[in-house]
Structure 1
Amino acid sequence: MTNTPSVSSIVLVVDDSPESLGMLNAALNEAGLTVLVALSGQQALSITERITPDIVLMDAIMPGMDGFETCEKLKQQLPMTPVIFMTGLTDVEHVVKGFEVGGVDYVTKPIIAEEVMARIKVHTQNARMALSAQTALDHAGQYVICIEHSGTIAWATPHVHQLVTSSPDEESTVWQRITDQLLPWLGKAPQHTPLAINEFEMPMQAQFGGEHQPGQSLVRLVAAEATRSPDVLQDKLPITKRESEVLYWVSFGKTNWEIAQILSMSPRTVNKHLEQLFKKIDVDNRTAAAAISIRILEGGDALPA
Structure 2
Amino acid sequence: MNNISDVVLVVDDSPESLGMLNVALNTQGFTALVALNGVQALAIVEKVKPDVILLDAVMPEMDGFETCKKLKEALPNTPIIFMTGLTEIDDVVKGFDAGGIDYVTKPIAPDEVIARIKTHIQTAKIALSAQSALDSTGSNTFCVSSEGRLSWATPNVHQFIEKICGEDTSPWASISKELAPWLQSENLEESSILTIHSFSSPLQIKYLGVQAPHHLFKIVEPPTSKTHLCLQEKLPITKRESEVLYWISFGKTSWEISQILDMSPRTANKHLEQIYKKLGVDNKTSAAAIALRLLERS
**Higher mean displacement: 184-193 or 136-145:** 184-193
Alignment partners' CA distance in 2, 1:11 and 1:199: 39
Residue 51 of structure 1 corresponds to 48
- Name which of 140, 147, 156 aligns with 1:150: 147
Residue 216 of structure 2 corresponds to 218
Residue 137 of structure 2 corresponds to 140
Aligned residue pairs, count? 220
Q: Per the alignment, do residues 160 and 201 of structure 1 end up closer, same or farther by CA in structure 2, a change over 3 Å counting?
A: farther
Alignment partners' CA distance in 1, 2:199 and 2:87: 47
Whether the 8 Å contact between 1:190 and 1:207 is mirrored in structure 2 is no
- Name which of 67, 72, 75 aligns with 1:75: 72
Does residue 194 (structure 1) correspond to residue 189 (structure 2)? The answer is: no
Residue 168 of structure 2 corresponds to 170
Alignment partners' CA distance in 2, 1:168 and 1:200: 7
1:200 CA drift (Å): 5.8
Does residue 111 (structure 1) correspond to residue 124 (structure 2)? The answer is: no
The one-letter code matched in structure 2 to 1:160 is V
Does residue 97 (structure 1) correspond to residue 74 (structure 2)? The answer is: no
Residue 99 of structure 2: SS of its match in structure 1? coil
The one-letter code matched in structure 1 to 2:135 is D
1:161 CA drift (Å): 1.4
Does residue 130 (structure 1) correspond to residue 127 (structure 2)? The answer is: yes
Alignment partners' CA distance in 2, 1:203 and 1:170: 14
Encode CA deviations 1:153-210: one digit per residue, 9 max, x unaligned: 11111122112222212231x3233223323333322314322235567654311222
Residue 31 of structure 1 corresponds to 28
**Higher mean displacement: 133-142 or 45-54:** 133-142
Residue 22 of structure 1 corresponds to 19
Alignment partners' CA distance in 2, 1:190 and 1:200: 24
1:82 CA drift (Å): 0.4
Encode CA deviations 1:86-134: one digit per residue, 9 max, x unaligned: 0011222111111001000000011011110111011101111111111
Q: Per the alignment, do residues 151 and 198 of structure 1 end up closer, same or farther by CA in structure 2, a change over 3 Å counting?
A: closer
Alignment partners' CA distance in 1, 2:107 and 2:5: 25
The one-letter code matched in structure 1 to 2:216 is L
Encode CA deviations 1:207-254: one digit per residue, 9 max, x unaligned: 122223x221110111258xxxxxxxxxxxxxxxxxxxxxxxxxxxxx
**Which stretches in structure 1 are left out of the alignment for 5+ residues?**
226-305
Whether the 8 Å contact between 2:141 and 2:218 is mirrored in structure 1 is yes
Q: Percent identity?
A: 52
Alignment partners' CA distance in 1, 2:169 and 2:150: 13
Whether the 8 Å contact between 1:203 and 1:223 is mirrored in structure 2 is no
1:67 CA drift (Å): 0.9
The one-letter code matched in structure 2 to 1:108 is T
Alignment partners' CA distance in 2, 1:51 and 1:6: 17
Residue 220 of structure 2: SS of its match in structure 1? strand
- TM normalised by structure 2 equals 0.69
Alignment partners' CA distance in 1, 2:54 and 2:22: 11
Residue 171 of structure 1: SS of its match in structure 2? coil
Whether the 8 Å contact between 1:13 and 1:36 is mirrored in structure 2 is yes
Alignment partners' CA distance in 1, 2:108 and 2:180: 37
Q: Per the alignment, do residues 155 and 129 of structure 1 end up closer, same or farther by CA in structure 2, a change over 3 Å counting?
A: same
Does residue 120 (structure 1) correspond to residue 112 (structure 2)? The answer is: no
**CA RMSD after TM alignment:** 1.9
